[in-house]
Structure 1
Amino acid sequence: MKISDLKRRKLLQYGFMSLGAFLGNTLLPSPLKAATMSLSIATHGKLLPPDHNGVRLPAGFTSRIVAHSGEKLFDYTWHAAPDGGATFASPDGGWIYVSNCELENQAGGAGALRFNAQGELVDAYSILTQTDRNCAGGHTPWQTWLSCEETDKGQVWECDPFGYKPAQARKSLGLFRHEAVAVDTRNKQLYLTEDKPEGRFYRYTAHSFDTVGNPNLDDGVLEVAEVIDDGIGTVRWHALTDPSAANMPTRKQIPHSTAFDGGEGIWYHQDFIYFATKGDDCVWVFDIQKQRLSILYNAASCLSPVLTGVDNITGNTAGELLVAEDGGNMQIVVLSGDDVLPLLQVIGHDRSEIAGPALSPDGSRLYFSSQRGKTGNSADGVTFEITGPF
């Protein structure tokens, strides 16, 4: 089934998201509304003129550039083409921000910035090298970074954000054009997106677990989603017999699996999986308990959409989504309750994309990169930190 057919039914079902939603920028009924009643990033008001770093922010927020591509930071040269990222708490009260490098021809990988409890940069180092087009990835509850290769036989690499242990390829998660991964902390399953115009939505279930209950990423079954053609978005899962794609690409192994137009970022929160598709500028929500898929945001249903070029996704503890734009208006946009509102905008980087949004473990700072900076060249990436009343 084509996903456009599902979207057409959904738009009819919700009456084009009501006239107000069509004319403006509001969301379909979703779990976000209940989750964001007590705390909201979206209440901080309009964006001010750009600051000295070219970043437009609401009142009370400030920006800092923490790294430039090619800059020597301690013993590490900050990588070109910074992409997906995440943060990890460190024992000293500080935290680590990891960032992928999306270069090809074995020049990709991932690096890390370590901050102390006061937010000072105290170290920088590599956590993965000699890989290809490391795009986005995912943070695991057992405190590792899953770095995804966006190539036809791309792998997921499990990395130690502290840089102590060597990265490991997790081939049971499939060989395909990986984009991102999210872990369902309740059921210990992993959900994965594929960045192809006919990409698929995948789920990994481990057969075994370690002594503390974490899933074995080398021993499990990879499944692909089929959205059942009954107009309600019910999802059925089909096991792949060849996750290594030795004989056929994973997306083609189950003919009745559902195609998604360019899978991008993905995020888990309280029994829901959210993911973006760039080809149709949609953000989807999968209800794990009900096994139902819905459209949360569709730019095509807005006359003047605030959010376009949907890409990486992260979220806060209140359940609000922060969606980065690849192109678009170079914004990070908050999906909160019924609202679609810009949190920030980077000015003068029109040939770049926003990548790797991640909140610090205490939620007080936001990290992200402009992958190609002002010039549009991958060697000119810029990594930012935003501080404010998140």
Structure 2
Amino acid sequence: MNYQRRRFLQILLVGGSTVAVSACVGGSGDGNPLNNPPAPNLNPAPDLGDAPADILAMELPLSPGPLMSIGPLENSGVDGILIPPEFEIRRVAVSGLTSSTAIPLPSLGLINYPWHIFPDGGAVFDLDDGGWIYVSNSEITPAGGVGVLRFNRDGEITDSYPILRNTRQNCAGGPTPWQTWLSCEEVPDGRVYECDPLGTPDTARELPALGIFNHEAVAVDLTTKTLYLTEDSGSGRLYRFRSGGMTVSINGKPGLDMDNGILEVLEIEGFEAGAYQQDLVEARTVKRVRWVPVQSPDRPQSQARSEIEIATGAGAPGTVFKGGEGIWIQELPEGQRPQVSGANNPLRAVVYFACKGDNRVYALDIDNDLIEVVFDNEQLIAPDTPFDDVDNITISPMGDVIVAEDGDAMRLMVMNPNGPSKILLQIPGGGSELTGPAFTGNGRFLYFSSQRGNAAGPGVPGLGITYELTIPERFRAG
């Protein structure tokens, strides 16, 4: 379907939307999926007012960043990786080794922590001394966890160490505004762990209140004291945890209380209780959402949903998002927050999240409870080359939404919301996943990994390579 025809059909569909939903209240489970009384509403959802649905925005007012102006890719000379002109790339770690030259750890004096295998989700934390830290999950069982590369202000690696050990399938996660890392276990009874990038494995702690399910990634909106979480399952949901308030974090800084709060799942209006938006044109049209309490939040959610379906003959709460993957929040600066047609609040913060089961990227307007698909495989990146298995997401300081790809093509995409996107980088050959994309605070460096390496790279095939991409200054204006 061409772009103009898609826009015309969206206009027709918007007129058929129904009225706004009211704010919901939370609840907690006692093990019985049919007996869960409501709990206090700690952070009420925003009042959407009485704006008629037929004037809702056809699309959220989203804009791409400066990386949309990159040129065609060319060979970098490093492991066959293709990058735009003016960009530079280097290896910074190989499983069992570290440094861009792949020197064994003893030669560097970094003997305590060989770089882990199967590097996955990651983030960057800027330090007061001008350096920074890149954290990276290890997606293995049973000896998963999180490792760190520490850089000085000149970009030299000065240390490498673990901050979480002996967890399972640590896939993605997310950074917090108070400078800790939330690492997610991608197993049916998976948990989230909070880690201090400057700490040790002993300082990490488990966060069962964030739910028991196939965790993939998490993002934090401090303004509303809310965490958003994806579930990597064919029948997965999008969750939010509304914290009861603030507390002292594991690094001694003020952070959200992640032990006390309400866990909820998102329902798109018209697609409640286990329904799925099959039709792409409809999914691309802005819809209203509401949040409903998770049933039995202290139990594995796949089991709880199955029991609800058997007991009631109906679907369990929540719209289905197939194979939830990366998630990241973009908060727009004051003075640059456009009004959303049909909604009371300007666009302050957007949650972007990817679903590999249908190769879609969604945008959720937090303050107005609105959602739409902003990327799918009809928005071809190159002729006859659809994006395959969307995975991790990150957002640059300049506002570029970067989506990683698994599968055969293995690319990092610069997403253009509701329009044709571009390729930032490609590793030919396939057989791996691009994981852990994360920018430094100044936007100069982008870190990522090829989770299982590639034939052209160093080290033992299948163990993973972590890279650093340098972004030219002219693409860092924003």
TM-score interval, smaller chain:
0.7 to 0.9
Q: How is 1:144-223 mapped onto 2 (pairs within 5 angstroms)? A: 144-164=180-200, 166-210=203-247, 214-223=255-264
| 2:440 equivalent to 1:360 | yes
Mapped contact 1:264–1:277 kept (Cα < 8 A) = yes
Alignment partner, residue 381 of structure 1: 464
CA distance, structure 2, for counterparts of residue 233 and residue 347 of structure 1: 38
What letter is aligned with 1:80? I
User: What is the number of residues matched between the two proteins?
Assistant: 365
Query: Quick one: which amino acid aligns to residue 172 of structure 1?
Result: A
Greater CA drift, 206-215 or 149-158: 206-215
Q: Which region of structure 1 is more displaced relative to structure 2, 83-92 or 294-303?
A: 294-303
C-alpha separation between the residues in 1 aligned to 2:221 and 2:175? 11
Q: Which amino acid aligns with 1:192?
A: L
- Tell me the CA shift for residue 213 of structure 1: 5.7
Pick the structure with more strand per residue: 1
Distance 1:52 1:241, change over 3 A: closer
TM-score by length of 2: 0.72
Offset at 1:163?
2.2
What is the Cα deviation at residue 256 of structure 1?
Answer: 3.8
1:328 Cα deviation (Å)? 4.4
Deviations 1:338-366 (A, max 9, x none): 44000011123x10010000011221001
Specify the SS of the correspondent of 1:249: helix
Q: How far has the Cα of 1:247 moved from its partner?
A: 8.6
2:179 aligns with: 143
Structure 2 CA distance, aligned partners of 1:242 and 1:195?
Answer: 19
Deviations 1:157-191 (A, max 9, x none): 00001124611000000010000001113212000
Kept in 2, the 8 Å contact 1:82–1:369? The answer is yes
* TM-score (norm: length of structure 1): 0.87
Distance 1:361 1:301, change over 3 A: closer
User: Which residue pairs with 2:101 in the alignment?
Assistant: none
- Alignment partner of 2:92 out of 66, 86, 107: 66
Partners in 1 of 2:124 and 2:269 — Cα distance?
36
Deviates more, 1:238-247 or 1:337-346: 238-247
1:122 counterpart = 2:189 = no
**Structure 1: how far apart are the matches of 2:216 and 2:77?**
32
2:425 maps to 344
Question: How many Å apart are 1:138 and its aligned residue?
Answer: 0.3
8 Å contact 1:206–1:219 — kept in the other structure? yes
Give RMSD over aligned pairs: 2.5
Q: Which moved more, 1:126-135 or 1:206-215?
A: 206-215
In the other structure, the counterpart of 1:224 is 265
SS of residue matched to 2:68: helix
Q: Give the unaligned 5+ runs of structure 1.
A: 1-8, 17-27
Q: Secondary structure at the match of 1:214?
A: strand
Identity %: 44
Instruction: Report the equivalent of 2:75.
Output: 49
Q: Distance in 1 between matches of 2:7 and 2:291?
A: 21
Give a deviation string over 1:313-372, Cα, whole Å, max 9, x none: 001123221000011411100013544000011123x10010000011221001000001
1:347 and 1:246 mapped to 2: Cα distance? 38
Provide the residue aligned with 2:390 in structure 1.
Answer: 310
Secondary structure of the corresponding residue to residue 88 of structure 1: strand
Which stretch shows the higher mean deviation, 66-75 or 223-232? 223-232
Matched, 1:233 2:287: yes
SS in 2 for 1:42: helix
| 1:273-312 alpha-carbon deviations (Å, 9 max, x no partner) | 0000001000000111110110001114647345322000
The question of whether the paired residues in 2 share the 8 Å contact of 1:53 and 1:64 is answered with no
